A = this chain, B = another copy of it.
């Protein structure tokens, strides 16, 4: 029943509903003596996920300003739990009054109702994507634990049926378009495509790719706390995610052992190096020292303007269309959320790895 925490040594717990007074996260297990200032270390990541920044994301206006309530003394972490609070300011709860008793298809309305016998129907309550702001805040702390040598970056690589051209991949393009798209040509095409989706009140799915570089070899624990199983779990906890893959992923099913092998040679630095990275940087659940590559699929936003058939809590057939402010492609804002979750998984395993050091 408890189930709002994530991680083992670097562990966070989130709380809050979409239309309550605030949401927040408690980050426990962050080492001491790390510089941590809300404005410069956390807020920039919040701003990246923040709604209302382009016409392709929900028009809800939330400053998402993070307050540090504990765990930091004179701008340094003290080793005690870091409580981060984000106030909700732009709730429009009345938008939801006419759907209070209806189960929105694709949403958690029906299952929460069945499980708990009660739900805060305003804006999805606890199951709202608003909760992901807390993940981004925790991820910002995780990045400080990882330090500057480990970099976690994400990109949108597919929107609806439209994929990027990987030969044009340029990380520098990520911030030049509202999609976190690394392919500038695709980004232009997507803008037109998504405008159409948005104007018709429809929605569309997407695929996000995350890359962590600078990860040392040896992160990840044996069989049931593998680095890849923890990453898969992490991504699948994000709202609307329906698939996760590492390295070659599902494509590996089509390959032969010869084609999928990552051969090795001694490098010029006298260290072993891999000649390819089909494995996505993880072998046997443990990081290889190469880039860690994760992709996840986000389903289309369930809130659409076209009426759908449903039932209500009284047991009547009815129709529903969702008028609230929503993302035509929730996959866009999933990029910083995925990055944050990846950073948290890596921070956790980095601390676990330290515990293994021999004297």
CB neighbours (8 Å) of A229 from chain B are 232-234, 236-237
Total interface residues in chain A, CB < 8 Å: 152
Least Cβ distance of A81 to chain B in Å? 4
A187 CB within 8 Å of chain B = no
A28 CB within 8 Å of chain B = yes
Stretch of A39-47, A50-58, A67-75, A166-174 that contacts chain B: A67-75
The residue from B13, B33, B81, B204 contacting A358, defined by CB atoms under 8 A apart: B33
Known: A255-B205, A285-B108. A245 touches B83 (CB 8 A): no
Per-position 1/0 for A306-321, Cβ under 8 A of B: 1011110001110000
A10 CB within 8 Å of chain B = yes
The residue from B81, B203, B228 contacting A236, defined by CB atoms under 8 A apart: B228
- A261 near B226: Cβ-Cβ < 8 Å: no
- B287 near A255: Cβ-Cβ < 8 Å: no
The residue from B78, B202, B310, B352 contacting A263, defined by CB atoms under 8 A apart: B310
List 20 A-B residue pairs with CB atoms under 8 Å apart, sorted by A's residue number.
Answer: A1-B355, A2-B8, A2-B10, A6-B224, A13-B13, A15-B83, A24-B83, A32-B115, A33-B116, A79-B118, A110-B264, A111-B287, A161-B254, A206-B253, A236-B246, A243-B243, A258-B306, A261-B304, A354-B354, A357-B357
- B354 near A355: Cβ-Cβ < 8 Å: yes
Least Cβ distance of A350 to chain B in Å? 9
The residue from B70, B258, B303 contacting A257, defined by CB atoms under 8 A apart: B303
The residue from B26, B110, B160, B236 contacting A272, defined by CB atoms under 8 A apart: B110
User: In whole angstroms, how far apart are the Cα atoms of A244 and B250 in the complex?
Assistant: 8
User: In whole angstroms, how far apart are the Cα atoms of A317 and B226 in the complex?
Assistant: 29
CB neighbours (8 Å) of A220 from chain B are 111, 115
User: In whole angstroms, how far apart are the Cα atoms of A310 and B125 in the complex?
Assistant: 53
Per-position 1/0 for A190-231, Cβ under 8 A of B: 000000010000111111000000000110111111101111
Copies of this chain held together in the complex: 4
Per-position 1/0 for A265-290, Cβ under 8 A of B: 11000101001000110111111110
Least Cβ distance of A99 to chain B in Å? 13
User: In whole angstroms, how far apart are the Cα atoms of A234 and B232 in the complex?
Assistant: 9
In the complex, chain A residues 8-51 whose Cβ is within 8 Å of any chain B Cβ = 8-11, 13-17, 20-24, 26, 28-33
CB neighbours (8 Å) of A311 from chain B are 264-266, 272
A143 CB within 8 Å of chain B = no
CB neighbours (8 Å) of A91 from chain B are none
Least Cβ distance of A189 to chain B in Å? 15
- A202 near B258: Cβ-Cβ < 8 Å: yes
User: In whole angstroms, how far apart are the Cα atoms of A239 and B283 in the complex?
Assistant: 9
Per-position 1/0 for A62-98, Cβ under 8 A of B: 0000000111010010111111000000000000000
